[in-house]
Structure formats: structure tokens, C-alpha cells
Chains A and B, each alone.
Chain A
Amino acid sequence: MKYMLIMNTPRDGYAQYMKWPRKLLEANAVFMQAFTKKLKEAGELVAAEGLGSPDQAKLVRAGQDGKPITDGVFPESKEFLAGYWIVDVEGEERALRIAAEASTAPGQSVTRSDGSTIDHLWIEVRQVMGSHEDVE
């Protein structure tokens, strides 16, 4: 079963990250690399990507002539996708374990959009849909 493990950041998450002390940045990078490598070696990794800052993001739709009309970042968004892993595992229990481990990546406590502070980012776990059917 495939799951996507999603890392979201608050609106200013990238700005917060840019101010991390060097040691923390390094520890985070080392963790992420080792974590992804471990998933690969376990035969569970399908894909992993980190995304650029939402400051650089563009919203796109087709105009009358079908050509793209771009706009800035959606103004009301409170949280943004920072990166994800897609894993192919035996079941949900394993996906949750992996997500819990991902959440322990070294970092600074984060102030969420509702004002609360958490030590680590939450990892959102979503099952990837397929075209399979259950055999009766």
C-alpha cells in the first residue's frame, strides 16, 4: 500500500528555516539524507521531494486564449507543502511509524497558524489511491 507522508509548514516556515543556526541546519540535512537512504534500503521508498519556498510559487489558470495567467501565492493559505515522501509499505501501521520518525528531524519549535507552538512539524499521512478493486 502506498502512502504519502506530507510535511507542511506555516506561512512563514521557510523564513523561520532560513534563520536557523548553522548547526541545526546541518543536523537537519544529515537527518533527512540518512532517513531517505534508510527508506530506500528498506525497499519502501517510491519518491521523496522537497519543495521551494512558497514565496516563489505561482498560481496558474488558463485565460480565454488558453494561455497561462499567473498570479502570486494564494493569499489565504495558512500552511504550505514543504516536501513529501511516498512509501510503499505493508500497511498503515508501518506508514505511521515512518511518519513518526520523519517528525523527529532536528529543527526549531514551530509556531503554527493558530498561535500554538510544537516541537516538531506534524507529518500528514495520506493513502495514495489506486485502480485496484477488492476481490469479493
Chain B
Amino acid sequence: MKASLEQIEPLLRDLAPRALATLMRRCDDFAAAEDAVQEALIAASAQWTREGLPDAPCAWLVRVAQRRLTDHVRSEIARRRREATVAAEGSFAATACAGEEEVGRDPDEALVLLFMCCHPALSTTSAIALTLRAVGGLTTAEIARAFLVPESTIGQRISRAKQSIKASGIPFRMPDAGARSERLSSVLHVLYLIFNEGYTTSSGSALHRTDLSNEAIRLARQVQALLPQNGEVAGLLALMLLTDARRAARTGPHGELIPLDEQDRNRWDREAIAEGLALASHALSLGSVGEYQLLAAIAAVHDEATRVEDTDWPQIRALYDMLLRLTDNPMVALNRAIATAMVEGPAAGLALIETLRDDERLRHSHRLDAVRAHLLERSGEREMAAALYRQAASKTTSIPERNYLLMKAEG
């Protein structure tokens, strides 16, 4: 019986990191093993649509990948012989005879794989591409479509990432306890960037993008299943769910941006919100509080308000206060100024913003101008507000955002 792509693709994405982890048990060449799995995924996609799913899909995948890897190792050995170098042949031989062991689901292996793909030695663009392929099970072509760049560019990015891994000698094993939390924060950062990348409006070219937000949520779910007692992991997943829940309400029929306070809250995804709220409170119950937990808590307060006027702004401000103790990110200070304006009035918010105007890090950001414009507008300073909205519009690099700011300038 034939199988449909809709059936096969999610399965392959789930199986890809497991197959790779299984291969890595016997093989010390991450780059070659990852290539072999990618080839096996493409072969599976073709064969399974024709002939239907095999009885043991994961074992099938491992077997095919193993065969590709063995072929690669053999030709590699032949090449080395030709070059008359004997170095490292031993390890290749060992790889070549790796058997058909039971395909397990060792949770640690999946984590090790993520730690490796998100290693701080890699540039973030490389880490993102490698994570999406090796852990997310996406093909190079799918990643390229998602980022709107040529497939060969993503291919190069992935092979560069693998070279960096090889050169830095990162071993395929769990990082030491001391390094683990720092390494985990790299993983969470990469997942957060993938989520942000997918946080697009549904207009124009964006329509055909592989859904990176969903992919990030899926990966964050996997990490959360592996580390259920980690507050930041739960916090990140909660943040993604609570933000993504507003997706349908965030854009108008022509791709125009609808800000939080003007969204039709009936269009928010209640199920995602319920899941996000439960995760956010679970995250906060775990003790030490981190940035993702606080950002999730803020998103939760917004999502809990059925009407915009029900928003608990004092609570949001208190959460930004806590966040500011963890980070000196000026964007956080800017958001805290907005919350203050909502509690005490626009003048109080504007006063706080005055202290941020000299911050070098905000100089090229449109957000400072946009927030000032908004607060001035609320104070009745229409003309100054319009000028600042236009200034913000000239600084943003997002087309929907620019259009929104220009509309605001028009009043």
C-alpha cells in the first residue's frame, strides 16, 4: 500500500535524529553519518510513497543509512590507500562493520545530538541549519526554501558547520555537568532563533515558507520531554506556545500587522494557550527563575486577558522588573517603560524612555522611536508622534512593520 507524503514526512522527521544517534554509537565521523542519514531520508521518502511504510521504519532507515555510510567509509579507505596514508584507518574499519543493532530510543543520545548541533563553536546561522537538518530531519532544500536562499548555500553552511565540529574536536557525548547548563542555553537560544525566524506574516513570499515556528515548537517539545524538570526549557516551550497562539489574529487579510491591543482575541488558539499556561506555571514552580520563564509569564498575562482592558499591567511591570535583574537588554527596559505607561500613564513611560535614548544599542532600532511615538500619541502630541512613527518606519527592516508604522503616522 502506498503511503502519502503527509504521512511520511512527520514520521521521517521524528526518526531522523534517532537514526543518526544510532549510527553515532559506532561511528566517530559525525559529518559522514549525518550525510548518510540525509541520503536515507531522501531514499525513504521516494520508496515509501511507492511501496508503503516498511514494518520497522526506523530500522529500515538505519539499515539504509548504515549501507551508505559503509560505502562512504570504503571509498574513503580506498582514497587513503591511494594517497598512501594509513592514519585513522582503524577507526574507519570499526565503523564499516557496525552491525544491525536494536534501534533504541536512548533519550541521552537525542540530547547529545542537539548539544553538538548547537555548540557555541558554531556560528548561529550554521547551528540553525545543522539543527534543522540533523535533529529536525528537514532536507537541505526545505531549509533553503524556509530561509529563501539557494539550496547550495545551505548545503555549504551545513558542511562548514560539520568542519567546525571536526576541527574543534567536540566529542559525541554528554557535556560534563559543569558545562551542561551553558550548553543547554546555546540549544535554547538556537531554538528561539528558529522560532523567531518563522514568526512571519502570512503574506506574499512568506506563504510558501516551511513553517519554522512549528518546527521550533516541535523541537522544544522534544527537549522538554527529555528534561521535564528544567524550568527554562519549559519556559521556552511555554513562550513559543503562548506567542504562537496569537498567530491567526496577528495579521489582517492583506498581510497587514495587527498589534496585540487591536487583535480579535476570539481568534487566539485557546488550546495552545491552555497548554502554554500550564507549562508556564509548571516552569515557575521549579525554583530558579530564568529569562524564558519570565518572558513566558509575561506572554501568559497577556493571553489570560479576554479583553485588552483586562490586561494585568501591574503584574506585567513586576515581571519586567524581575527580568531586568537578569539582563541589561535595553529592549527589556523599553518594554518595562510601556508597562509603566499602562499603569501610571504615558508621562511616566516617556520619562523612563528618556534614560534610554542615549543607549548605543538602541540607536539603530526602530522600537525606541515607535514606543515614544505611541506614548506621545496617547498624551495628545499628534504631530510629534507622527514624525516619530515615520522615523521608526524608515529604520525597520520588516515590510509589514513599516506599513503599520506609516499608517499610524497618518493617524
Q: Residues of A with Cβ closer than 8 Å to B?
A: 1, 40-47, 88-90, 127-136
Contacts and interface: CB of A to CB of B under 8 A. Distances in A.
Nearest to B205: A131
Contacts of A42: 156, 160
Contacts of B243: 135
Contact of B126 (A43, A47, A131): A43
The main secondary structure of chain B at its interface with chain A is helix
14 contacts: A1-B397, A43-B153, A45-B150, A45-B153, A46-B150, A127-B397, A131-B203, A131-B255, A132-B196, A132-B199, A133-B200, A133-B250, A133-B257, A135-B195
A88 B147 contact: yes
Nearest to B156: A43
A41 B148 CA distance: 17
Contacts of A128: 397
Nearest to B302: A136
B41 interface: no
Size category of the B interface is: 35 or more
Given A45-B153, A88-B147, A131 B160 contact: no
Chain B CB count within 10 A is highest, among A43, A88, A135, for: A43
Nearest to A92: B364
A85 B199 CA distance: 26
A65 B257 CA distance: 36
Nearest to B298: A136
Interface stretch (B14-22, B43-51, B110-118, B399-407): B399-407
B181 interface: no
B206 interface: yes
B306 interface: no
Contact of A132 (B149, B158, B398): B398
Contacts of A127: 397
Given A43-B126, A46-B149, A136-B335, A131 B156 contact: no
Contacts of A40: 152-153, 156
Q: What 10 A-B pairs are tightest by C-beta distance, nearest first?
A: A43-B157, A43-B156, A131-B206, A131-B200, A46-B149, A127-B397, A129-B399, A129-B397, A88-B149, A131-B201
Question: Max chain B CB contacts within 10 Å: which of A45, A90, A130, A131?
Answer: A131
